[in-house]
Amino acid sequence: MSSVTNRIAVWVGAASALLVAVVLGSGCDRSAQPPMATVVIKGEATTRPAKGRVILFGVDALGPGLLDEMVEGGHTPTFARLYEMAAVGTLDVRPTVMPPLSPRIWASIATGQIPREHGIVDWADILPDGRVVLFSTSDRKAPAIWNVVSALGRRVAVVNWLMTYPAEVVNGFVISDRYDLMWAEREASQSNVETRRDVGRAVYPSSLIPRIGKVKGLKPPAVPIAAEYEAIDREILRMAMAGLREIPVDVALIYMRAFDEVCHTAWYSHEPLPGMKVEGNGVDVVVEYLERFDWILAELLSTLEPEDHLVIVSDHGFEPNPRLGDGEAPHLQGIHESDHTATATLILAGPRIQKGVRIGMASVFDVMPTVLELAGLPSARNLPGKVFAEAFLPEEREFLPPVESYTQTWSEGQSDDEATEADAAIMERLRSLGYIDEKGPRDP
């Protein structure tokens, strides 16, 4: 099955060549009113035919030093094989504002813009009337990769990416980060509140929901158990593969989040402070989880074709919490606050990429231009990043000329400010992980 779309392209102005591309979904549930972005492309967009897919695979909390340690220690044979067939580097996330914060970083990866420009500056926002609500799709002020890909006539999939609820209209499909409500189900039961979600707004097109099926067992364990966290990320990959079988795409973004909770709750099993007793019979939960995640990566690699490109990125690393038990963060074993944790993993593989090489440090803003180039689509001069040329084979460095700018507006009247009981439960879970307080967003 495939979703049918109508694209309207209107050229205005002789010199400025302003192209307004609006992607309209004909198969959406009109009563649900999914968000719809109007992408404005200033300048002429030069494209090339797509020879394969581009998969942007986001893994929360996968620090490059830790991953090197796992590969060198023989814990992750799939990652070791990937190192031999890929360009391996690092990603500098400090420009998204310190300390590293996942919503800001993943939004910067998706939009290629600084937080002040893309608008996602924290987990939640305080509205003028004093209500605290989670940031959502319509809070994003800059077009994301999926908007640009759609506007230029290619097909795109977005699975579990942060701050993608409600699922917006794209030329392809979106399974939003609140489809399973992993956090809400547990926190709702503990807080004795009702868990509500509008399933019709969690996936676009909603007709895809029967194909991807119900979410199975996505509840974080009360104590860190690697196998149960593995089940969370494996379920995300299962939904992604089910969607891709129904709606083939040119570009796919898939975000895996369980490792962040593993590190927050079990980091001392891997890196205990001096004199601290390690609980859990000496099991290193961090290592055990990555050994299991290596199997998930192997499953993903088995679905790739020779012409496909794979880009793996993370958002930050982890370090021990020296304040454990002081009342401020009494239960968080791992944190990410220092410059040491503001360097993330970057791995690129595919026919245009150098194989088995170590490359330098890219900016977090380079991800979007690089993904667009691999997809045969141009970057833009209003993006602060650039195509990360160092990863490409020398003969593959003739990149498409950028357009002047990509900008966007939302459909008139679009608003997602209504907070539900599920939102409150998610925020309670975020507070338990030290991610949110009542002070509102940090200054970007």
Q: Is residue 261 part of a domain?
A: yes
> What is the token pair recorded at 313?
């990125």
Q: Is the pLDDT of residue 21 over 50?
A: no
Task: Decide: 206 and 29 in contact? Cβ < 8 Å.
Answer: yes
Q: Is residue 44 part of a domain?
A: no
Instruction: Please give the residue that has the higher pLDDT: either 196 or 423.
Output: 423
Looking at residue 180, its pLDDT comes to 73
Looking at residue 198, its pLDDT comes to 72
d(CA 37, CA 195): 29
Percent of the chain at pLDDT > 70 equals 76
- If you average pLDDT over residues 141-170, what whole number do you get? 96
Alpha helices, DSSP H, located in 112-144: 115-118
Give helix 64-72 / helix 285-301 axis angle, nearest 10°: 80
> What is the token pair recorded at 335?
């944190």
Q: Could you give the count of Cα atoms lying within 13 Å of 11 in the half-sphere of its Cβ?
A: 7
Percent of the chain at pLDDT > 90 equals 60
Listed ranges 226-240, 401-415, 425-439; the one with the highest mean pLDDT: 226-240
Return phi, psi of residue 377, to 5°.
Answer: -125, 150
| Residue 246 CB partners (closer than 8 Å, separation 6+) | 1, 173, 208, 211
Task: Decide: 178 and 159 in contact? Cβ < 8 Å.
Answer: no
Q: What is the CA radius of gyration of the chain?
A: 21
d(CA 227, CA 199): 27
Instruction: Please give the residue that has the higher pLDDT: either 305 or 421.
Output: 305
Where does residue 59 fall: left (phi above 0), alpha (psi -120 to 50 degrees), or beta otherwise?
Answer: beta
Q: Is residue 426 part of a domain?
A: yes
Looking at residue 434, its pLDDT comes to 58
Reported as a single tens digit per residue, the pLDDT across 352-391 is 999 999 999 999 999 999 999 999 999 999 999 999 999 9
Owning domain of residue 179? 49-400+416-432
For the chain, report the end-to-end CA distance as a whole number of angstroms: 42
Q: Is the pLDDT of residue 26 over 60?
A: no
Looking at residue 199, its pLDDT comes to 72
Reported as a single tens digit per residue, the pLDDT across 73-114 is 999 999 999 999 999 999 999 999 899 999 999 999 999 999
Q: pLDDT category, 117, cuts 50, 70, 90?
A: very high
Reported as a single tens digit per residue, the pLDDT across 228-246 is 889 889 999 999 999 999 9
| CATH number of the domain to which 376 belongs | 3.40.720.10
Q: Is residue 148 part of a domain?
A: yes
Return phi, psi of residue 221, to 5°.
Answer: -70, 155
Looking at residue 354, its pLDDT comes to 98
- If you average pLDDT over residues 164-178, what whole number do you get? 94
This prediction has a pTM of 0.85
Q: pLDDT category, 275, cuts 50, 70, 90?
A: low
d(CA 97, CA 249): 33
d(CA 161, CA 158): 7
Looking at residue 409, its pLDDT comes to 92
Q: Which of 29-38, 71-80, 223-232, 250-259 has the lowest mean pLDDT?
A: 29-38
Q: Is residue 407 part of a domain?
A: no
Q: Is residue 25 part of a domain?
A: no
Where does residue 24 fall: left (phi above 0), alpha (psi -120 to 50 degrees), or beta otherwise?
Answer: beta
Q: pLDDT category, 324, cuts 50, 70, 90?
A: confident
What does the angle CA 295 – CA 298 – CA 302 come to, to the nearest 5 degrees? 145
Q: Is residue 409 part of a domain?
A: no
Looking at residue 424, its pLDDT comes to 55
The total of structural domains in the chain comes to: 1
Task: Decide: 51 and 64 in contact? Cβ < 8 Å.
Answer: no
Q: Is residue 29 part of a domain?
A: no
